[in-house]
Chains A and B, each alone.
Chain A
Amino acid sequence: MGQLKEVSCLNGHTDRVWNVSWNPTGTTLATCGGDKTVRLWGQEGDSWVCKTILQDNHQRTVRSTAWSPCGNLLATVSFDATVGIWDRRSGEFECNATLEGHENEVKSVAWAPSGKLLATCGRDKTVWIWEISEEDEFECASVLHAHTQDVKKVLWHPNLPILMSCSYDDTIKIHKEDGDDWTSFQTLESHTSTVWSIDFDSTGERMVSCSDDMTVKIWQAYQPGNKEGIQTTGKDATWKNLCTLSGYHSRTIYDVSWCKLTGLIATAGGDDKLCVFEEEVDSTGPTFVLSTAITRAHNEDVNSVEWNPKVTGLLASSSDSGDVKIWQYSV
C-alpha cells in the first residue's frame, strides 16, 4: 500500500480548472479553465507559485493545454473554437499563432513526439492534424471525421506515428498516415459510455482508458506474429482489452495518467476521488490493484490528473472547485 500526501494547494483560478499539464522537464505546471486563462506554476523554495498568467487570447473556457516536446511551445485549446500557440523563445510567452477550423468547442490537443505534428479534436466530431513547417507555420494535414460524436481527447503514441482519439461515441479510434492523408484503421469498443481520457505506459505497448461507465480499462498491443495468436492486419498491432478495473469510482472517471517512471496509474473522477493503482504480476498474468485513494481530494469533481515526468511520485490534479493540488506518492 502506498499513500498520497498533499504537498501544495494552488489557488488563483477563479472558475473550474479543466486541465493540468507538466512541461517535459517537470519544472512548470500549466493549468487552464473556465476563467479563460492559463496559469504557469513553478517551485520557489518549498512552495509552488504562479509565475505567469496567459490571458486575453481566448474568448471562452480554455479546455486543455499541451507542451511541445522541446518545451518551448505551449498549445492551448478553447471552447471559442480556436487553438493558440504560445512561444517562449523570445524570453516571455507570446501567442504567435491562432489555428482556426474547428466549428465549435475544441477539447484536447497533443504534440507528436517529433514536435512536427499537432492534433486537436472537439465537439464537431472531428480530429485535425496540423503539420509544422520549417518556417514554424501550421498547415492542416488532415481532418478526420471518424467518430460519430464529440471527441474528448487525442494522444500520440510515444514511438509510433499513430494517433489515438476517444469519444462520446464510447469508442477509441486509431489513426495513421496513408499517402497524403490520414485514415482511421482501428476502433476499440468495450466501454459502455463516453471514453474521457487515455494514456500510454512508458513502452507504448499498453494503454489505459477511463470512462463515464466508471471503469478503467487496460489495453495491450499485439504485434504481428504474436504468440497469443491474436489476428493482426498488415504491419499494425491489434489492440485488445487486457483487463478492466471497476468498483473504485462511483461517478464518471474524467482523467487517467500512467506514470512513465513508476508504472503507477492515477485516476480522477466526478466523485471527488483520486485513485492510484499498481501492477502485480502473478501466475495468471498482470493485475492492477488499488495502492491508495483520496476520497475527498478537492471537495468537487476532479477533472484532470497528471504524473510529473521527471520527479518520481509527484502528481498534479485540478477540480471544479478552482483549486489545483500537488501530491506526493510514497510507499
Chain B
Amino acid sequence: MKHYRAHLLVCAGTGCVSCGSFKIKEALEKEIKKRKLQDEVQVVATGCNGFCERGPIVLVQPDGIFYQLLTVEDVPLLVEEHLLKGRPVKKLMYVPPDEKQPVPKMKDIEFFKHQRLIVLRNRGRIDPEKIEEYIAFDGYEAMGKALAEMTPETIIAEISASGLRGRGGAGFPTGRKWAACAKEKRTPKYLICNGDEGDPGAFMDRSVLEADPHAVLEGMVIGAKAIGAVKGFIYIRHEYPLALKRVEIAIAQARDNGLLGEDILGAGFNFDLEIVEGAGAFVSGEETALIASVEGKIAMPRQRPPFPAQKGLWGLPTVINNVETWATVPNIIRRGADWFQGLGTESSKGTKIFSLVGKINNTGLVEVPMGITLRDVVFGIGGGIPKGREFKAVQIGGPSGGCLPAKLLDLPIDYESLTAAGAMMGSGGMIVMDDKTCMVDIAKYFLNFLQDESCGKCVSCREGTQRMWEIVRDITEGKGKESDLPLLEELAQVCKDASLCGLGQTAGNPILSTLQYFRHEFEAHILDKRCPAGVCTKLIRYVVLSEKCTGCLSCKKACPTEAITGSLKEVHSIIQTKCIKCGACQEACRFEAIESQRDEAIQVI
C-alpha cells in the first residue's frame, strides 16, 4: 500500500450509484491522471455515506470536505481547485435549507453531527471490497478475541449482558435466542442472516451489506462459535444486486485469508458461509418462512413453537438474526457489554439505524442512540419538511407499523414506546408525511401491499387484508359508509387474533393507527366525500387559481388531453369533462396556481 496525501471517498451505495457515482469516480480518476496527481491522490469507492438526498457524494480527506450533488462536469474544477491548489470549492458544498453559507466539513453538517455510528462506523470510510481496509479499522479483532480467548458461554453472557435486541422487527433479546440454541444437543446447527429487507422505505440492511460486508461475516463467525454452528447462510433479496456482489467478494476474501472455512485464524474453529438469493416475497422476512425459502421451498410460515432455535433449517437448531444485529455483534465483543449498555435507554440498548425518507429535506440513513425523540430525528437530523410545509405524520415499522401524528413528536424512540403508541420499531423505516399526504390513501397503500404479499395460508389474513383493502379503496372513491369504520376495526382485530405469523398478526396496524390518530380524515372522505389532502383522485378536481396564474402556458403544454384552455398571459382554465386528473398540470406549474379541490359534482348521500 502507498501513502497518498489525499483520499477521495466516492459514495458507491445504491442511491448514489443510481445517480451516477461510478461515472463521477471514473471522471475523477481521469482528471487526476491528467493533472499527474495519481501518485498523490487516491480515489476510493465506499459504501453508502447515508446522506442519500445529496448524491453523488465525494468526501475529501484529510480535509473532511463534503462535496455533493456532483456532476461529471464539476470534476475538472474540483480537481484543479481543491487537489492542485488546495482551495475547497464552495459552490459544490452543501448549503442547508434556508441558508446561504455552505458548510464545508462533513462533521459540521447537521445531518451528520447528531449521529452515533457503531454499525455504520465504516460507512464512507473504507472500500468494502478490500478486506485489509476493514482490518485496519479493528476489523476481525473481535472474532480473534472470541475464538482465542472466549468460550461459547462467555460470548453468550457478553451478548446477553449488552442488552442487544433483534434489529429486524420484534426486538427479541439476541443473547436469549443464542442461549436457547446453544442448549440444543442435536447437530449440525445453522446460522442465518436475514437480509430479506422487504419493508418498503427501509434500506439499512442493504446499506450495511454494501458498505461493510465483513462486519456481518465477523458477527456470524462469533455467533457460530457461541452456538456451535458449522454453516451459515446469508439471505439477500435479489433486488439488491450490489449487496449480493459485495458480500460475495467479502466471503471469497475471508476464505482466502483463512477467516472463514477450516481452522479459522489457526484457532481450530470451522465455519463457512453461503449466499442465498431471494426471489421476491415480503413474507420470507418472517423467520420460519425464511427457513423454508433457504430450503428452496415456498416461503410459507409455520406455527411456532417449536422455535427455529430448536427446530430450524432442515429441522435442526438454527439462529436467525438480521443484518444489523449481526453487524452489531463484533462491536459488543470488541468494546464490551458495559460500553454498549451505556448507550440507549433502560430497555433498548445501543443504537438503531433508521432510513429517513418521504417528505423530508435530508433523506438518508441515520444511526442514532435509542431513546432519541422523533422530533430530533425528523427536524434535527432530517432538517424538517421540504418547502416549509407542515409535518403531518411519520410512519414507522413498515407494513406492520403505524403512523404517528405531530402530537407524538416528543416520543422517545425505543421498542416499548413505539409499540405502545401503535407503531413498532420494525426494521427502522421512517416515512415522513406532510399535509399533502392523505392518511386514508396511506392506509389503502399498506393494505394493498399486504393483501398482495399475504402468502395465503391463513384465511384471516388472506381474506382479511383483501376485504380491508376493498373497504378503504371504496372510501377513497367516495363510496364509504359510516359503518365501515367499526367494521375495519373488527376485521383488523380478527386478522391479528387468528393469523399465524407476524405479517397477519400486524396487518391491522396500519389501519388501526391511522384510525386512532386520523379518524377525522376517514370521516371527511365518508361523510363529506372530501379528501382534505387533495390526493384521492375520485374525490378531487383540479382548478386554476386565477390570482396566481400568470398565463405561461406550461400546464397547457403538459396536459395530455387538451383539457386546458387560455392563451399566453391569460388566466387558464380546466375543462373538467376532458380532465383525466393525471396531475401533469400541477407538476408543470411553477406558481402553485393549480390546486386540487373537492369535486363539487360528487353527491353526498
The answer to whether A and B belong to the same complex is no
A binding-site residues for B, Cβ under 8 Å? none
